[in-house]
Protein backbone atom coordinates (compact mmCIF):
# COMPACT_ATOMS: atom_id res chain seq x y z
CA UNK A 1 0.00 0.00 0.00
CA UNK A 2 2.85 2.40 0.87
CA UNK A 3 4.50 1.51 -2.42
CA UNK A 4 1.30 2.36 -4.25
CA UNK A 5 1.03 5.73 -2.46
CA UNK A 6 4.67 6.42 -3.28
CA UNK A 7 3.99 5.72 -6.95
CA UNK A 8 0.96 8.03 -6.87
CA UNK A 9 3.03 10.78 -5.19
CA UNK A 10 5.85 10.54 -7.74
CA UNK A 11 3.31 10.52 -10.58
CA UNK A 12 1.66 13.63 -9.12
CA UNK A 13 5.04 15.37 -8.86
CA UNK A 14 5.81 14.46 -12.46
CA UNK A 15 2.46 15.79 -13.66
CA UNK A 16 2.87 18.94 -11.55
CA UNK A 17 6.39 19.53 -12.92
CA UNK A 18 5.18 19.00 -16.47
CA UNK A 19 2.27 21.39 -15.92
CA UNK A 20 4.60 24.04 -14.48
CA UNK A 21 6.94 23.58 -17.45
CA UNK A 22 4.05 23.98 -19.89
CA UNK A 23 2.80 27.14 -18.10
CA UNK A 24 6.28 28.71 -18.00
CA UNK A 25 6.84 27.82 -21.66
CA UNK A 26 3.45 29.32 -22.59
CA UNK A 27 4.25 32.53 -20.68
CA UNK A 28 7.65 32.84 -22.38
CA UNK A 29 6.12 32.20 -25.81
CA UNK A 30 3.37 34.76 -25.14
CA UNK A 31 5.89 37.35 -23.95
CA UNK A 32 8.05 36.76 -27.05
CA UNK A 33 5.00 37.09 -29.33
CA UNK A 34 3.93 40.34 -27.63
CA UNK A 35 7.41 41.86 -27.89
CA UNK A 36 7.69 40.82 -31.53
CA UNK A 37 4.25 42.26 -32.35
CA UNK A 38 5.12 45.53 -30.60
CA UNK A 39 8.33 45.86 -32.62
CA UNK A 40 6.53 45.12 -35.88
CA UNK A 41 3.88 47.75 -35.07
CA UNK A 42 6.55 50.34 -34.22
CA UNK A 43 8.43 49.59 -37.45
CA UNK A 44 5.23 49.84 -39.48
CA UNK A 45 4.57 53.28 -37.97
CA UNK A 46 7.92 54.42 -39.37
CA UNK A 47 6.88 53.61 -42.93
CA UNK A 48 4.16 55.14 -45.03
CA UNK A 49 3.11 54.45 -48.59
CA UNK A 50 2.56 57.23 -51.10
CA UNK A 51 0.60 56.85 -54.32
CA UNK A 52 2.26 58.94 -57.04
CA UNK A 53 1.41 58.69 -60.73
CA UNK A 54 -0.14 55.29 -60.22
CA UNK A 55 2.92 53.90 -58.42
CA UNK A 56 3.14 52.98 -54.75
CA UNK A 57 6.26 54.43 -53.11
CA UNK A 58 7.46 53.65 -49.61
CA UNK A 59 8.62 56.50 -47.42
CA UNK A 60 10.31 56.12 -44.05
CA UNK A 61 9.62 58.42 -41.12
CA UNK A 62 12.45 59.69 -38.97
CA UNK A 63 13.14 61.98 -36.06
CA UNK A 64 13.68 65.65 -36.89
CA UNK A 65 17.15 65.56 -35.36
CA UNK A 66 18.15 62.84 -37.85
CA UNK A 67 17.17 64.97 -40.85
CA UNK A 68 17.72 68.48 -39.56
CA UNK A 69 20.67 69.24 -41.86
CA UNK A 70 18.85 67.89 -44.93
CA UNK A 71 15.67 69.81 -44.12
CA UNK A 72 17.58 73.00 -43.32
CA UNK A 73 19.49 72.94 -46.62
CA UNK A 74 16.29 72.27 -48.55
CA UNK A 75 14.60 75.17 -46.75
CA UNK A 76 17.45 77.50 -47.76
CA UNK A 77 17.46 76.18 -51.33
CA UNK A 78 13.68 76.63 -51.58
CA UNK A 79 13.87 80.20 -50.30
CA UNK A 80 16.64 81.10 -52.74
CA UNK A 81 14.67 79.58 -55.60
CA UNK A 82 11.47 81.47 -54.79
CA UNK A 83 13.18 84.81 -54.14
CA UNK A 84 15.50 84.85 -57.16
CA UNK A 85 13.49 82.97 -59.79
CA UNK A 86 11.59 85.67 -61.65
CA UNK A 87 9.84 86.05 -64.99
CA UNK A 88 8.46 89.17 -66.73
CA UNK A 89 5.03 88.59 -65.22
CA UNK A 90 3.73 90.56 -62.25
CA UNK A 91 1.66 87.62 -60.94
CA UNK A 92 4.59 85.19 -61.12
CA UNK A 93 6.82 87.66 -59.28
CA UNK A 94 4.25 88.24 -56.54
CA UNK A 95 3.58 84.51 -56.12
CA UNK A 96 7.27 83.63 -55.85
CA UNK A 97 8.09 86.49 -53.48
CA UNK A 98 5.09 85.65 -51.29
CA UNK A 99 6.26 82.04 -51.00
CA UNK A 100 9.77 83.22 -50.16
CA UNK A 101 8.62 85.67 -47.49
CA UNK A 102 6.84 82.88 -45.60
CA UNK A 103 10.26 81.26 -45.14
CA UNK A 104 12.16 84.28 -43.79
CA UNK A 105 11.85 87.15 -41.35
CA UNK A 106 11.74 90.90 -41.94
CA UNK A 107 15.24 90.98 -43.44
CA UNK A 108 13.90 89.38 -46.64
CA UNK A 109 10.91 91.74 -46.67
CA UNK A 110 13.26 94.74 -46.39
CA UNK A 111 15.36 93.44 -49.30
CA UNK A 112 12.21 92.99 -51.38
CA UNK A 113 10.94 96.49 -50.51
CA UNK A 114 14.30 98.03 -51.47
CA UNK A 115 14.36 96.24 -54.81
CA UNK A 116 10.76 97.23 -55.50
CA UNK A 117 11.40 100.85 -54.58
CA UNK A 118 14.41 100.96 -56.91
CA UNK A 119 12.25 99.69 -59.79
CA UNK A 120 13.98 96.31 -60.04
CA UNK A 121 10.81 94.28 -60.64
CA UNK A 122 9.33 96.92 -62.96
CA UNK A 123 12.51 96.70 -65.08
CA UNK A 124 12.19 92.91 -65.26
CA UNK A 125 8.64 93.21 -66.57
CA UNK A 126 9.31 96.07 -68.99
CA UNK A 127 12.53 94.51 -70.28
CA UNK A 128 11.11 90.98 -70.65
CA UNK A 129 13.88 89.66 -68.43
CA UNK A 130 13.91 86.23 -66.83
CA UNK A 131 16.00 85.39 -63.81
CA UNK A 132 16.87 81.99 -62.36
CA UNK A 133 19.18 80.67 -59.68
CA UNK A 134 20.90 77.33 -59.11
CA UNK A 135 22.44 76.52 -55.75
CA UNK A 136 25.95 75.06 -55.84
CA UNK A 137 26.49 74.35 -52.16
CA UNK A 138 25.27 75.31 -48.70
CA UNK A 139 27.45 75.51 -45.61
CA UNK A 140 25.44 74.84 -42.44
CA UNK A 141 26.62 74.93 -38.83
CA UNK A 142 24.24 72.90 -36.64
CA UNK A 143 26.51 72.92 -33.57
CA UNK A 144 25.16 76.32 -32.41
CA UNK A 145 21.59 77.56 -32.36
CA UNK A 146 20.31 79.47 -34.27
CA UNK A 147 22.05 77.67 -37.12
CA UNK A 148 24.36 79.81 -39.25
CA UNK A 149 24.39 79.11 -42.99
CA UNK A 150 26.04 80.40 -46.14
CA UNK A 151 24.73 79.64 -49.62
CA UNK A 152 26.81 79.64 -52.82
CA UNK A 153 24.75 79.92 -55.99
CA UNK A 154 24.84 80.93 -59.63
CA UNK A 155 22.33 83.48 -60.88
CA UNK A 156 21.39 83.84 -64.55
CA UNK A 157 19.74 86.95 -65.91
CA UNK A 158 18.31 86.24 -69.35
CA UNK A 159 17.64 89.22 -71.60
CA UNK A 160 16.64 89.29 -75.24
CA UNK A 161 20.18 90.41 -76.16
CA UNK A 162 22.36 88.66 -73.58
CA UNK A 163 22.67 86.15 -70.75
CA UNK A 164 24.45 87.39 -67.65
CA UNK A 165 25.88 84.81 -65.24
CA UNK A 166 26.49 86.10 -61.73
CA UNK A 167 27.99 84.75 -58.55
CA UNK A 168 25.52 84.90 -55.66
CA UNK A 169 26.58 84.34 -52.04
CA UNK A 170 24.09 84.87 -49.22
CA UNK A 171 24.11 84.12 -45.51
CA UNK A 172 21.80 84.06 -42.53
CA UNK A 173 20.57 82.10 -39.55
CA UNK A 174 17.86 79.49 -39.11
CA UNK A 175 15.55 79.10 -36.14
CA UNK A 176 12.80 76.57 -35.50
CA UNK A 177 9.15 77.51 -35.98
CA UNK A 178 5.92 75.54 -36.32
CA UNK A 179 5.42 73.62 -39.55
CA UNK A 180 2.63 74.74 -41.85
CA UNK A 181 1.52 74.44 -45.46
CA UNK A 182 3.44 77.65 -46.23
CA UNK A 183 6.50 76.53 -44.25
CA UNK A 184 6.69 72.71 -44.34
CA UNK A 185 10.26 72.49 -43.01
CA UNK A 186 9.52 74.42 -39.83
CA UNK A 187 12.44 76.85 -40.13
CA UNK A 188 12.62 80.63 -40.40
CA UNK A 189 15.54 82.46 -42.04
CA UNK A 190 16.78 85.36 -39.95
CA UNK A 191 19.26 88.19 -40.64
CA UNK A 192 19.41 87.28 -44.31
CA UNK A 193 22.18 89.15 -46.13
CA UNK A 194 23.68 89.14 -49.62
CA UNK A 195 27.48 89.00 -49.38
CA UNK A 196 28.31 88.89 -53.08
CA UNK A 197 26.41 89.32 -56.32
CA UNK A 198 28.86 90.05 -59.13
CA UNK A 199 29.06 89.31 -62.85
CA UNK A 200 31.03 86.25 -63.93
CA UNK A 201 30.40 86.35 -67.66
CA UNK A 202 28.15 87.94 -70.27
CA UNK A 203 27.14 86.04 -73.40
CA UNK A 204 25.58 87.99 -76.26
CA UNK A 205 22.65 86.34 -78.00
pLDDT digits (tens, 9 = 90+) for 120-176: 999 999 999 999 999 999 999 999 999 999 999 999 999 989 999 999 999 999 999
Same domain, 179 and 140: yes
The answer on 198 and 116 residing in a single domain is yes
Is 111 among the domain residues? yes
Q: Could you tell me if 184 and 115 lie in one domain?
A: yes
Are 120 and 83 in a shared domain?
Answer: yes
User: 7 and 77 share a domain?
Assistant: no
Binned at pLDDT 50, 70 and 90, residue 5 comes out as very low
On whether the CB atoms of residues 141 and 167 are closer than 8 A, the answer is: no
Name every residue whose Cβ is closer than 8 Å to that of residue 153 and which is 6 or more positions away in sequence: 80, 84, 133, 134, 135, 136, 168, 169, 170
The answer as to whether 190 is a domain residue is yes
For residue range 73-127, list pLDDT tens digits in order. 999 999 999 999 999 999 999 999 999 999 999 999 999 999 999 999 999 999 9
| CATH code of the domain containing 188 | 3.10.450.230
Residues 44 and 68 in one domain: no
Q: Could you give the number of structural domains in the chain?
A: 2
Task: Give the whole-angstrom CA distance, residue 89 versus residue 122.
Answer: 10
> Which residue range is the domain that position 10 belongs to?
2-48
Tell me, yes or no, whether 34 lies in a domain: yes
Residues 143 and 198 in one domain: yes
Same domain, 23 and 79: no
Q: Domain for residue 56, yes or no?
A: no
Q: Which of 2-11, 38-47, 188-197 has the least mean pLDDT?
A: 2-11
Amino acid sequence: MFKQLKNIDSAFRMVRGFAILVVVGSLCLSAFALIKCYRVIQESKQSIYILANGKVLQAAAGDRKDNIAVEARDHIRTFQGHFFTLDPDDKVIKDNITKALYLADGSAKRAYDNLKENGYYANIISGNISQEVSVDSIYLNTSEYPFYWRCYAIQKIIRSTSIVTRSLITEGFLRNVSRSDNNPHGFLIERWNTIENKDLKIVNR
